[in-house]
Amino acid sequence: MPSTPLPSAPLRDRTSSHHHIIITGASGFVGQNLQKHLQDKPWKALSRNPSGSGLSYTEFWEQNDLSFGHYIHLAGKAHDLKTTANEQDYWEANYELTRKLYDRFLADPAAETFIFISSVKACADRVTGWLREESPCAPETVYGKSKRKAEEYLLDNLPEGKRVCILRP
């Protein structure tokens, strides 16, 4: 699916929450670097344990009047460095959270763009040569399978008049 870049014009604050961009995973590596580029833009972090002006998932799901123009979904479960995670942890973080956030995006009348950071593992655990959009996907790990299932959900529910971008770093 071809990606569409975010508009380069200044973002207008048209939301009741006074934040035009919502970001999950803002405290992670990519999120911290993204924040540097959003300093002059109205944005809000969505997390399990918010700090400062952040928003908890519970607050977000309960407040139906919150509206955002751009949803950037970076959060997910990738590495189990402490070897304490089970398969359900991956499905909850990588599929269920994505599905729930995407459903909110679809219902949000101000929403224009949904960016989902997936993983190359959603398509293949080992890559030889080039991996293209049309390459067949056969993830082997629960991580790859949960990310692929989230991608499929997005692709099966593409909205008219809104942009959806899946990135596989």
Q: Read off the pLDDT of residues 70-88 as tens digits, 9 standing for 90 and up.
A: 999 999 988 766 677 789 9
Nearest-5° Cα angle at 117, 115 to 119: 145
DSSP state of 159: P
Neighbouring residues of 82: CB distance < 8 A, sequence distance ≥ 6: none
Q: pLDDT value at position 26?
A: 86
Q: pLDDT value at position 138?
A: 93
Q: How far is CA 90 from CA 38, 75, 76, 165, in A?
A: 29, 11, 8, 21
- Mean pLDDT of the residues in the chain: 85
Residue whose tokens read 């770093």: 169
156: three-class secondary structure by DSSP: helix
Model pLDDT for residues 101-152, shown as the tens digit of each residue: 999 999 999 999 999 999 999 999 888 888 888 889 999 999 999 999 999 9
DSSP state of 20: S
Alpha-carbon distance 68 to 113, whole Å? 9
**What pTM, to 2 d.p., does this model score?**
0.83
Structurally, what CATH architecture does the domain formed by 21-167 represent? 3-Layer(aba) Sandwich (3.40)
Q: Considering just the CA atoms, what is the radius of gyration of the chain in Å?
A: 16
Residue 16 has pLDDT above 60, yes or no: no
